[in-house]
Structure 1
Amino acid sequence: MKSIIYSFVLFLCFSTLSFCQEAVEKPAPPSGNALIGDFYGADVSVVSINKAISVEKLESKLKDTKKEEGIAVKGEVTNVCEKRGCWITLKMEDGSSFFVKMKDYAFFVPTALKGKKVVLEGNAERKVTSVDELKHYAKDAKKSKAEIDAITAPKEEIRFLADGIKVVN
């Protein structure tokens, strides 16, 4: 009899625990107009803003080394993740762009950031991005099915992990 009671209590404990899992929610993307002076994540210091290098200089630096840490880069935002604002792209002089993620997904940016000049502070590296990951980001960017299906090869590119992003003039 005791074993039946213990079995029943054990069953109740496990079934209760399985239904009591707490959902971890990611923060919603901020709304707003992304005005000059607004920042997301860690505030970017005036010193970093003044020392910020262009996207092109970053590309040159990453030809010599594969990774640059604690670097500030200035550029124009060309795209923002429509779903959560969890990534952006910055325009390079040759018309191409590079990809920026937010460190630990700790912060997001508003879609109004598109077209604005920003300074990023964080780490940059040259990395090969898989086909699956490229397709995922293309879906986030609401690309057409034809554009997504056209992604068939991995891509070596600059990836930036931002600690903070500040809108500048």
Structure 2
Amino acid sequence: MKNLLFLLGLGIGVITFAQSGPPAGDAKVGEFYGKDVEMTVAKNAITVKDLNKKLTKEAKVENVAVKGTVTEVCPKKGCWVKLKTDDGKDFFVKMKDYGFFVPMALVGKNVVLEGNAESKTTSVNELKHYAEDAKKPQSEIDAIKDPKTETRFLASAIKVVK
């Protein structure tokens, strides 16, 4: 009996772990991922441009709220997103402690992120990993030859605001 219960539990765990793709959902206004963003925090959110200005003065900015439009969601699990910036550079967002995932429907939505930001150099291997997750063509993955310094955001909360 113990063996049967063990195998049943193992099977459920494997099926759960093997589940791929971001969670289902419509990403409607007011929905949140991670923890909820309080309305006062959302109203005081800064732009990516303003965050980048802060990061020229400080190595890391903690407990900051940033607003922007989602341009890409990790199609593998929904474990990262990219936001549109004013200067055309990527603004990469990972979820804190891999604690939550977002649906593909988040693309094109205006959101407020809450968390910590820093300017970070991302290795070639990590850049290739993200390109693979995003299902980029192999030629694009192979073209990644240099590390990239970019603003990175570790989100504890993402809320759809528009």
TM-score normalized by structure 2?
Answer: 0.87
Aligned residues: 151
Q: Does 1:54 align with 2:69?
A: no
1:116-131 equivalences in 2 (<5 Å):
116-131=109-124
CA distance in 2, matches of 1:102, 1:134: 17
Matched residue type, 1:113: L
1:134 to 108, 119, 127: 127
Q: Deviations over 1:79-112 (max 9, x none)?
A: 0000100000011011222100000011000011
Identity between Structure 1 and Structure 2 (%): 59
Moved over 6 A (4+): none
TM-score (ref. length: structure 1) = 0.84
Q: Deviations for 1:23-64, whole angstroms, at most 9, x for unmatched residues? A: 684986321110000100010111110110001000111011
> Per the alignment, do residues 39 and 27 of structure 1 end up closer, same or farther by CA in structure 2, a change over 3 Å counting?
farther
Root-mean-square deviation (CA, aligned residues, Å) is 2.0
Q: 2:3 — aligned with what?
A: none
Superposition pairs for residues 14-163 of structure 1, below 5 Å?
25=17, 29-163=22-156
Q: Is the 8 A contact 1:44 1:166 kept in 2?
A: yes
Greater Rg over alpha carbons, structure = 1
- Unaligned regions of 5+ residues in structure 1, if any? 1-19
5+ residue gaps, structure 2: 1-9
